[in-house]
Structure 1
């Protein structure tokens, strides 16, 4: 597409290497350049208005115009614009936020460590667990088990935990000591006639077989999202987390709940761990923690995890890890106000109610020739697209059908994300019934248009 030389699109092409983008294709097509937001809507520089049905990147809980968050940032910026947490230093907002997060934890937690993104948080967790194993005199206990299609970030360590091929290809990943067990997606991975419970049993047995093959004394932790996000909004089958946790408990393996997408109301409870009765030792949080108005992430650890880490820092004389902006006072102040608003407006309940409405609209489309599966919980959902329902297949090129539908939806003013041929929906927690219906109406119209083209 040709742009005038001084246009934002042309300058974006000239100077900006984008995340999760085909760089050569970007040179040809350019980007949608957003200029402002209002509630669940965003608007580009040409005045085109879109429902942001992905809440940005699964993250803008309060929508795109919450003045209280802007005011919280301004107040703190004027009072103390920066402070670090190195060398026995702290600040009021980060202390308040740590206390608040511990109070919200669904299981007893001891300490909070602050980072700037979910990737940094999970990277730090892996690093600190190696540190912990050494402190405990277990230098062989360095392996961590993740899952195929899981998503845990893009740093060298967290991208290794991620179980998606394009996050490994040409990056020389995964690194050593990172293992991947099977995805919990019943619709895609179950054997013919296998019930959800039988499938969950098989996945737990496969996990145990992997642990025994590797040596239980070498496995330190298992990491999983309560509901997989970027892997396709994969909702765990009945009894899955119960059976997985039983295996981990048997071999004294820590459980890390990656709540980066699921946390702060997305699954219809404050945390996804509550939705699935998970009892994690570590919980990773980001995204909706501040509605992504400012970068901030964190993880909580229980006393079992904290104790050996504290002991080792005392033996050495320092915990030699941290980030300049970790626990930033402005980001912490915004996160505190964000959590306050989520509770005041009972947005967790709104997520349950609006999510049920959205999934109900999608379930009504299950007879459509392009709809293979509807899945979701709370206010996160996906529709798996197919051209052959019996074979559960789409167009010849994986992702071609999903890309076509996502592009057509954007042209109709709805921003979604396709993970191959699954269309994900994760709107802000503030969404109203009429906005849910607007998404569903436009999605149905697009399905009809695309079906006429491809079938």
Structure 2
């Protein structure tokens, strides 16, 4: 890793940057009032699993940027590969009869890594555009096979599939559904979140599984099996709270899709490229052979933006039928960008050469074990962790699983204290979510868990003192 050369700015520079950020920079998920009052944590350098702010403070980034800094920051060989490609070919038109050798090599590599007959790749600019592409591909495919009525999509409540208008409509995460945006799409339907911790009516996991599968089949029959085109599912739901479904859930849902001629889309934007210890999780972890996989994030470990929609030979044979003269009128200026593709190829090379998938098996198991020790704390309702996807859910009452009122903002309270101790976790209302880099060490796991424990205990004491928590 490269050692950051500048991690602290003068007070005058810091003041100027804070002022300019407030005046000109609208962030993703911009909290207008909060940002105007508090400003942002301005990051200026990164090294491995650590990032540095303008004051020179170092943070262990247990969020992994945004589920994406898989091989760690500051790798010189990544910088060199990117620079060399810029010198060789900085851009190439990706449309129609134009290509470039790096994009071709990446597509070939992805086809070799993807399960089964997922041999065809459409390169995009990120996860949202990969999912958007999958949706359009399904519509194209159904029209090509003469099923113009088979267009409806089913996804899950509290899922996240991206932030274009279309992908935000496929996802149905409650916190994203603000009244100032519109989400109308009559072709998109939703079934229950497969969260065992929140199973209705005291169901055990086996009963909950049967409920979910029946609900899915009932929804298909309600819409009409001949009208349902695809099912979109994250193998583990990420931003919705690291929801690990009941054992066998994905396989059962896939079997229903098979029965009714419904394409299974595995949204692996988060779960691919090592986060669960495999390049792709659908088949190797959950024994499901999807028709389409979407990926991004860990594809380049966030060194440059890139996504991909990887799809089956079955789909290709229909849409590319000889003699039809068809054109897939969909694409992006930066699809197959040679510099981004170079970053992806180098990233994959590093993951393979350094045996990072095997490392994730080891360090991920340790993270699962250590995070589970937080269950003894009174604020902790649930701990969900599989390899390097983790979430702690906080409750006001462990017996009833009742949540704190939104205004308590319990996840943010714990996040603020962790940040003051040099640890970054992601607050999402009553959750703290983690997705650390694949290079995480056992010592860093201990640091994460011990810091979280201290912060949770502190916040519980504060809430008790203010009368907001009874300590159940």
If the TM-score is normalised by the length of the shorter chain, which range does it land in?
over 0.9
- Whether the 8 Å CA contact 2:127–2:295 is kept in 1: the answer is yes
SS state of the match for residue 376, structure 2?
coil
- Whether the 8 Å CA contact 1:55–1:428 is kept in 2: the answer is yes
* 1:403 corresponds to 2:432: no
Match for residue 177 of structure 1? 187
Matches within 5 A, 1:16-31: 16-31=25-40
Give the whole-Å Cα distance in 1 for the aligned partners of 2:451 and 2:386.
Answer: 21
- The answer to which of 139-148 and 161-170 deviates more is 161-170
SS state of the match for residue 19, structure 1?
coil
SS state of the match for residue 406, structure 2?
coil
Match for residue 109 of structure 2? 100
* 1:39 corresponds to 2:66: no
1:412 to 1:233, Cα distance in 2 relative to 1, 3 A:
same
Give the whole-Å Cα distance in 1 for the aligned partners of 2:365 and 2:198.
Answer: 23
Match for residue 310 of structure 1? 320
- Taking structure 2 as the reference length, what is the TM-score of the superposition? 0.93
Provide, for residues 154-179 of structure 1, a one-character-per-residue CA deviation record: whole Å limited to 9, x for no partner. 11111111111343332210422011
Provide, for residues 372-415 of structure 1, a one-character-per-residue CA deviation record: whole Å limited to 9, x for no partner. 11111111111111121011123222771111111211121111
Match for residue 355 of structure 1? 364
- Whether the 8 Å CA contact 2:112–2:119 is kept in 1: the answer is no
Provide, for residues 161-198 of structure 1, a one-character-per-residue CA deviation record: whole Å limited to 9, x for no partner. 11113433322104220111100101013431x22122
SS state of the match for residue 424, structure 1?
strand
Give the whole-Å Cα distance in 2 for the aligned partners of 1:399 and 1:156.
Answer: 30
SS state of the match for residue 300, structure 1?
strand
* 1:451 corresponds to 2:431: no
- Whether the 8 Å CA contact 2:363–2:440 is kept in 1: the answer is yes
Q: CA deviation at 1:416?
A: 1.1
SS state of the match for residue 46, structure 1?
coil
Provide, for residues 322-345 of structure 1, a one-character-per-residue CA deviation record: whole Å limited to 9, x for no partner. 111000000000100000111111
Unpaired segments of 5 or more residues in structure 2? 1-10, 465-472
For residue 297 of structure 1, the aligned residue among 307, 315, 320 is 307
Match for residue 399 of structure 2? 390
SS state of the match for residue 155, structure 2?
strand
Provide, for residues 195-226 of structure 1, a one-character-per-residue CA deviation record: whole Å limited to 9, x for no partner. 21221111010000000000001100001000
Q: CA deviation at 1:367?
A: 1.1
1:283 to 1:398, Cα distance in 2 relative to 1, 3 A:
farther
Provide, for residues 211-262 of structure 1, a one-character-per-residue CA deviation record: whole Å limited to 9, x for no partner. 0000001100001000000000001111211211121111010100000000
- Whether the 8 Å CA contact 2:406–2:429 is kept in 1: the answer is no
1:345 to 1:309, Cα distance in 2 relative to 1, 3 A:
same
Match for residue 296 of structure 2? 286
Q: CA deviation at 1:107?
A: 2.1
Match for residue 418 of structure 1? 427
Q: CA deviation at 1:6?
A: 5.5
1:298 to 1:44, Cα distance in 2 relative to 1, 3 A:
same
Match for residue 235 of structure 2? 226
For residue 346 of structure 2, the aligned residue among 328, 337, 343 is 337
- Whether the 8 Å CA contact 1:121–1:297 is kept in 2: the answer is yes
Provide, for residues 300-335 of structure 1, a one-character-per-residue CA deviation record: whole Å limited to 9, x for no partner. 1001222222239x6354221111100000000010
Unpaired segments of 5 or more residues in structure 1? none
Give the whole-Å Cα distance in 2 for the aligned partners of 1:350 and 1:174.
Answer: 44
Q: CA deviation at 1:419?
A: 2.2
* 1:376 corresponds to 2:385: yes
Match for residue 144 of structure 2? 135
Q: CA deviation at 1:447?
A: 1.0
- Taking structure 1 as the reference length, what is the TM-score of the superposition? 0.96
